[in-house]
Structure 1
Amino acid sequence: MGDLVTAHAFIQTAMRFDLTDLRLLLHIVETGSITAGADRSAMALASASARVRGMEETLGVPLLERGRRGISPTPAGRAAVHHARLVLHQIERMRGELAEYAKGLKGHVRLLSNTAALTEFLPDALAGFLAANPSIDIDLEERPSHAIVEAVAAGLADLGVVADMVDLAGLETRPFRADHLVAVMAPGHPLAGHEAIAFADLLDEPFVGLSPGSALQDYLNAHAARAGRTLAFRVRVRSADALCRLVERGVGLGIVPETAAQRASRGAAIRIVPLRDAWAPRLLVLCARRFTDLPAHARRLVDTLSADAPAASTRNDKSA
C-alpha cells in the first residue's frame, strides 16, 4: 500500500521535476553511487546532490539509502525509478517519431555491447549508420553479456549485443553476427599441427584465461566442469589481445573468438586451431525487451545492425 501511495505522490509531483532530474536518479540507482551517477550525467557532484535533495523535499520522502555497499533506492525510490523510466522512455519515443518530421531534433539510443561485438563488429556497422543518420546519437557502453541482459530487462538500456550463451529469457532477440571459438597456441606447441581439436583434448594443458567475470571464460569453465575437470590457469588477463601475446611466448593455451584470434595474429606469432565441439560456433544477438516498443530511430538501428546477420537463429530468438 505504501508503494501505491508513493507512486501516486510521484505522479502528482513529477511535473516539478525536469528530465535531468529523472535521468540523474536512474544513473545513480544504476551505478549505486551519487558520484558515478553525477559523472554519467555530466554533472558536478554538488549539483547532483542538490537535485536529489530537491526531489526528496518535493516528494516528502527519502529516495536513496546510503549503505556500506553504496547507494540503493528506498521503496519510494524504487517507485520513482519505475515512473522515471516510463517517462523517459515515452519522451524518447516521441523524440524519435518527431525526428522523422523535424530537422535538427536528435534521437538517442542507449546501446550496451559485450567485448567481442564491440571490438570486432560494431565499429564498422555503427560508423555507417551514424554517417547516414546525423540526427541520431548512440550512447555506447561495454559490459559483460550477463550484465547487459540484466540492464535491458530492467529498462536501463534500449538495446544490447550479447553472446547467446547467456540466459535471454524474457527478452526478444535477433541475430547479429556469427563467430567460432578457437584454440590459440604457440607455433611450436605439440598440438599446433591439428586442423581442428576437441576441447576435451586441451584439458590437461596450462591455460592463459580471461579475467573472472568474463562471460566467455565462465562458459568455458562450465564446459570443463561438465567433463569433470577444471582449467589450470597460469595467468588471467582482461583482453584477447593480451591473452594471445602471452600464448605466443609459450605461457599456455587460450580459447578466444576466431575474429579476435585472426586480428591478434597480425601482430603475434600464434597458431589458430578451431574447436570442433558442437558448442564452439556461437551467435552474437541483439536483445531488447520488445523491438516493436522501441522508438523509431532505435528500430532503424536494429534493422541496420541485423541487415548482415547470419540466417540461422537460436533457441533464444523470440522475435518475428
Structure 2
Amino acid sequence: MRFDLLSLELFVAVCEEQSMARAGDREHIAASAVSKRIADLEVRLNTPLFYRNSKGLELTPAAHSLLHHSRVLMRDMKQMEIELAHHASGVSGHVRISASVSTIIQHLPSDLREFLATHAAIRIDLQEGTSQQAVEAVAENSADIGVFGGVVPRAGLRIIPYTSDRLVVLMHAGHPLARHAEIRFEALASHDLIGPSKGSYLDSLVLRAASELSRPLKMPVRVNGFETVCSMVEAQLGVGLVPEVCAARYLASGNVVARPLDEPWALRQWNICVQDSRTLPAPVRLLLKHLTNRDSR
C-alpha cells in the first residue's frame, strides 16, 4: 500500500487542528483540497478516519494509529532533508523537547547552552507543559525527548535519570512560620497555600501529602509557574512551595524568606524518556548523551 507524503502531512494537520479549514489555512491549501485528500486516504484504507459531529472532527481508532506512524515518518523525512542539506558542515538537525516548567526554569537552560556551544548546527524546539504531557508527547512522536517527574511512563519508552531538586517553603518575612528552622507539610495546613498548577508534578506531591492529613488544605489561589508563586508570596497571599534555586532569586530583596520543607518527598527526581534509543536520529542521540552525563560535566 503506497501513501502520498502530502496527503499524510495534511492528515497530521487536520488531526492537530481538528478542522479541515484550519488545516488548509496552516498548510496554505484550499479546504476543499484537504477534504479531497482525506477522502482519498479513507478510500485507500477502506476505513473512516474521522467522526464528524457538531464540535468538529474526532479521530477514529484507525486515525490514531495512522497519526502515530505519520509523525514518525514526517520526523524521519525532515531529519533526512536537514542532514543531507548540511552534511558538509558536520552533525546538524532538529531536536524536539517537551519538558515540565520546573526543569525549563532550573536545569535545561544551562545544559542547552553548553550543548549548543559545541553543536551550533543543531536546532532545539522546546515546548513546556506538565510531566504527563511531556511523556505523552514522546509516546505519540510529537517530541523526541521528554523531561518529567512523578509520572508512570507508558510501556515501550526508555527512562533515564536526569537530575533532582529540593523544595523549600517560601513565605513573606513577617509570616508566622518564618521563625521555624524547618517546616513540616502538616504545619502548612493552617495557612493559605499558593496552589501549584493542576496536573503538575508538584500538584501530585501536594495532593498525596494532603490526603494523609486530617483537615483540608487552604489553597485560595492556584498558579502556573514558580515565578508567579514567588510574586503571590511577596503580595502576602500565602506561602508557596518552590525549588530552592527559584527561591534564591527572591531572597535578596528581604521581603521573603525560605525554609526547608521537612518531608522525604521534598527531594524530587527528574527523568528523561525517549523512544528506542537505537533508532533515534544522530542529533537526538547527541543531546540525550549530553543531558544524561551531567555528573561527568
Normalising by structure 2, we get a TM-score of: 0.84
The residue number in structure 1 matching 2:36 is 53
Q: Provide the C-alpha distance between the structure 2 equivalents of 1:49 and 1:161, rounded to a whole number of angstroms.
A: 39
- The answer to whether structure 1 residue 172 and structure 2 residue 178 are counterparts is no
What is the correspondence of 1:101-250 to structure 2 with a 5 Å cutoff? Answer: 101-103=87-89, 106-163=92-149, 165-170=150-155, 171-250=157-236
Q: Provide the C-alpha distance between the structure 1 equivalents of 2:180 and 2:21, rounded to a whole number of angstroms.
A: 52
Q: Provide the C-alpha distance between the structure 1 equivalents of 2:242 and 2:17, rounded to a whole number of angstroms.
A: 29
- Measured after TM superposition, the shift of residue 257 of structure 1 is 1.7
Q: Provide the C-alpha distance between the structure 2 equivalents of 1:53 and 1:132, rounded to a whole number of angstroms.
A: 46
The residue number in structure 1 matching 2:5 is 17
- Measured after TM superposition, the shift of residue 228 of structure 1 is 3.9
- Note closer, same or farther for the CA distance 1:118–1:162 as it changes in structure 2 (3 Å cut): same
- Note closer, same or farther for the CA distance 1:33–1:54 as it changes in structure 2 (3 Å cut): closer
Stretch of structure 1 that moved more, 266-275 or 132-141:
266-275
Determine if contact 1:224/1:230 at 8 Å carries over to the other structure.
yes
- What RMSD in Å do the two structures reach over aligned CA positions? 3.1
The gaps in structure 2 that reach 5 residues or longer are none
- Note closer, same or farther for the CA distance 1:108–1:306 as it changes in structure 2 (3 Å cut): same
Q: Provide the C-alpha distance between the structure 2 equivalents of 1:179 and 1:265, rounded to a whole number of angstroms.
A: 18
The residue number in structure 2 matching 1:251 is 237
- Measured after TM superposition, the shift of residue 49 of structure 1 is 6.4
- Measured after TM superposition, the shift of residue 225 of structure 1 is 0.9
- The answer to whether structure 1 residue 43 and structure 2 residue 33 are counterparts is no
Stretch of structure 1 that moved more, 207-216 or 50-59:
50-59
- Measured after TM superposition, the shift of residue 29 of structure 1 is 2.6
Q: Provide the C-alpha distance between the structure 1 equivalents of 2:205 and 2:148, rounded to a whole number of angstroms.
A: 13
The residue number in structure 2 matching 1:273 is 259
Q: Provide the C-alpha distance between the structure 1 equivalents of 2:253 and 2:23, rounded to a whole number of angstroms.
A: 39
The residue number in structure 2 matching 1:77 is 63
**Count of aligned pairs:** 293
- The answer to whether structure 1 residue 91 and structure 2 residue 77 are counterparts is yes
Q: Provide the C-alpha distance between the structure 2 equivalents of 1:204 and 1:37, rounded to a whole number of angstroms.
A: 51
Q: Provide the C-alpha distance between the structure 2 equivalents of 1:35 and 1:56, rounded to a whole number of angstroms.
A: 15
Percent sequence identity is 33
Q: What SS class does the counterpart of residue 175 from structure 1 fall into?
A: strand
- Note closer, same or farther for the CA distance 1:268–1:125 as it changes in structure 2 (3 Å cut): farther
Query: Residues 219-246 of structure 1, C-alpha deviation per residue, up to 9 Å, x if partnerless?
Result: 2122111234432112222222222122
Q: Provide the C-alpha distance between the structure 2 equivalents of 1:117 and 1:182, rounded to a whole number of angstroms.
A: 16
Q: Provide the C-alpha distance between the structure 1 equivalents of 2:296 and 2:153, rounded to a whole number of angstroms.
A: 19
Query: Residues 158-209 of structure 1, C-alpha deviation per residue, up to 9 Å, x if partnerless?
Result: 111112x121252322222210111111111121122222112221211111
Give the counterpart letter for 2:151 in structure 1: V
- Measured after TM superposition, the shift of residue 310 of structure 1 is 9.1
Q: Provide the C-alpha distance between the structure 1 equivalents of 2:22 and 2:265, rounded to a whole number of angstroms.
A: 38
The gaps in structure 1 that reach 5 residues or longer are 1-11, 312-320
Q: Provide the C-alpha distance between the structure 2 equivalents of 1:126 and 1:231, rounded to a whole number of angstroms.
A: 38
- Measured after TM superposition, the shift of residue 140 of structure 1 is 1.4
Determine if contact 2:52/2:58 at 8 Å carries over to the other structure.
yes
Normalising by structure 1, we get a TM-score of: 0.79
- The answer to whether structure 1 residue 289 and structure 2 residue 275 are counterparts is yes
